[in-house]
């Protein structure tokens, strides 16, 4: 388990029960030593790795200024463990599995380039044990009594931002050690870059699977003061926004890593709402411009299909067709798509169709590379067989194999794609932390 002592702030036990495992304490991995995060790149050039001595917080201008020089990002994670079904050590193992899946997915075209290095190497700052070591008799829920809920019994995300809940995080304010840093302060000081929740709950008590409040930028990558998009995640973050981007992500204690990759990728799809550059360069990758490139009355399969059953047919690997609600037919011939989405693989016949073995041409592996005939992107057949090795490794939950493949196709480090302005495409992953 990769752990760090978050910026040397130390820790305190949670206020009401048990202990808070942290680096160097019983029940936690040994500390790797004091000092800045050790980069995983062979160059050892910390100026090209984030966080670093000069920059730790989300939305820092340093990230924008050094975007094109970055070779690795090591986001810091705080994990709140509420799920009574497993202990802290098991939660740590699941967190490591998820971080491994994220790392693998950030290897640009790793399926064809064995030397591709991970760009995202998440690090676990701390696990806070908020489980019921002895649940109350007759307690009906899989997560603990400490899970914050409102008067109706629904998960209360606003409670995570309160001063009273800050005691559970256990990071004393360096300027006033008698109080603990709130969640916004943890983000704003760069102590953490993401908060993960291990809950395992369904229904009203379940938190949004991935919630984010995202700093909005203009076309010149300048932050628009006070402007935050609270719906760039899988779910909207209905809480007062912090002074920097804040992400609260799900860590499933019961499903394979593909399910958490799905919600993260859906968040990446939505990031264009806050980053104009992605509006110009990512929509066709995520098949969100069918009305423009295919002449349909919908932009995306998400718009057309929703959660209904089979809604797309592929008479051949170069044709897609279906039926509008009014009974008229649509047809894209030739079918020139980008790659797909977290919910719709390249050959999906419906939402969550991850097992279709019928091949369909896609630009996933050659997106914006202009390496085909006449300067078009080369297309290659995609089917579920294309990701079988990843499915074996990361599981079939929520299309684990597809989720890794899709993320490896995202223009990442040293990508060979061209942007809409003709310049080389920027690496998309740093935008997560703008």
What is the per-residue pLDDT across 6-58, written as a single tens digit (0 to 9) for each? 333 333 333 343 333 443 333 333 232 223 333 454 445 667 999 999 999 99
Looking up tokens 């820790």 gives 11
Average pLDDT over residues 307-320: 94
Q: 174-181, long-range: CB within 8 Å, 24+ apart, which pairs?
A: 174/9, 180/12, 181/9
Average pLDDT over residues 411-420: 98
What values do phi and psi take at 123, rounded to 5? Answer: -125, 135
The dihedral built from the CA positions of residue 95, 266, 343 and 202, taken in this order, carries a sign that is: positive
Average pLDDT over residues 393-404: 97
Range name among 24-33, 93-102, 148-157, 324-333 with the lowest pLDDT average: 24-33
**DSSP classification of residue 7:** G
| Residue 45: per-residue pLDDT | 61
Average pLDDT over residues 180-184: 98
Q: What is the dihedral of CA 148, 151, 154, 160, to 10 degrees?
A: -30
Per-residue pLDDT band at 308 (split at 50, 70, 90): confident
| Residue 46: per-residue pLDDT | 66
Q: Comparing 38 with 81, which gets the higher pLDDT? A: 81
Does the pTM of the predicted model rise above 0.85?
yes
Residue 289 has pLDDT above 50, yes or no: yes
| Residue 16: per-residue pLDDT | 41
Residue 99 has pLDDT above 70, yes or no: yes
Q: What percent of the chain has pLDDT over 90?
A: 87
CB neighbour list of residue 7: distance below 8 Å, 6 or more residues apart:
56, 189, 190, 191
Per-residue pLDDT band at 282 (split at 50, 70, 90): very high
Burial of 1 (0-12, 13-18, 19+ CB in 10 A): middle
pLDDT tens digits, one per residue of 49-63:
999 999 999 999 999
Residue 246 has pLDDT above 70, yes or no: yes
CB neighbour list of residue 48: distance below 8 Å, 6 or more residues apart:
41, 66, 69, 70, 71, 72
């Amino acid at each position: 388990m990769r752990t760090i002592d978050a910026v040397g702030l130390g820790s305190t036990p949670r206020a009401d029960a048990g202990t808070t495992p942290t680096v160097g304490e019983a029940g936690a991995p040994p500390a790797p030593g004091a000092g800045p995060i050790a980069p995983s790149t062979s160059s050892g050039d910390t100026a090209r790795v984030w966080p670093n001595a000069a920059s730790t917080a989300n939305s820092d201008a340093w990230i924008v200024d050094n975007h094109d020089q970055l070779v690795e990002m090591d986001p810091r994670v705080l994990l709140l463990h509420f799920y009574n079904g497993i202990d802290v050590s098991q939660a740590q193992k699941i967190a490591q599995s998820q971080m491994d899946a994220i790392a693998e997915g950030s290897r640009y075209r790793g399926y064809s380039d064995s030397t591709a290095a991970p760009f995202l190497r998440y690090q676990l700052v701390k696990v806070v044990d908020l489980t019921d070591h002895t649940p109350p008799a007759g307690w009906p829920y899989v997560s603990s009594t400490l899970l914050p809920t409102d008067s109706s019994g629904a998960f209360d995300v606003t409670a995570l931002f309160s001063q009273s809940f800050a005691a559970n995080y256990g990071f004393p304010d360096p300027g006033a050690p008698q109080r603990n840093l709130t969640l916004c302060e943890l983000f704003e000081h760069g102590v953490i870059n993401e908060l993960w929740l291990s809950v395992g709950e369904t229904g009203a008590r379940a938190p949004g699977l991935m919630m984010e409040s995202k700093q909005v930028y203009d076309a010149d990558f300048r932050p628009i003061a006070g402007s935050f998009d609270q719906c760039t995640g899988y779910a909207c973050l209905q809480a007062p926004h912090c002074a920097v981007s804040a992400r609260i992500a799900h860590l499933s204690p019961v499903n394979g890593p593909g399910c958490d990759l799905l919600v993260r990728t859906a968040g990446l799809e939505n990031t264009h709402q806050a980053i104009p550059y992605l509006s110009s360069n990512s929509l066709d990758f995520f098949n969100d411009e069918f009305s423009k490139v295919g002449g349909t009355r919908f932009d995306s399969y998400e718009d057309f299909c929703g959660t209904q059953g089979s809604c797309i047919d592929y008479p051949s690997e170069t044709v897609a067709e279906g039926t509008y609600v009014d009974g008229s037919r649509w047809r894209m011939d030739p079918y020139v798509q980008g790659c797909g989405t977290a919910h719709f693989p390249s050959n999906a016949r419906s939402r969550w169709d991850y097992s279709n073995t019928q091949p369909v041409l896609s630009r996933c592996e050659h997106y914006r590379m202009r390496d085909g005939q006449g300067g078009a992107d080369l297309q290659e057949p995609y089917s579920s067989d294309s990701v079988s090795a990843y499915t074996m490794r990361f599981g079939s939950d929520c299309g684990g194999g597809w989720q890794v493949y899709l993320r490896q196709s995202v223009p990442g480090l040293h990508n060979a794609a061209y942007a809409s302005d003709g310049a080389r495409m920027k690496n998309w992953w740093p935008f997560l932390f703008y």
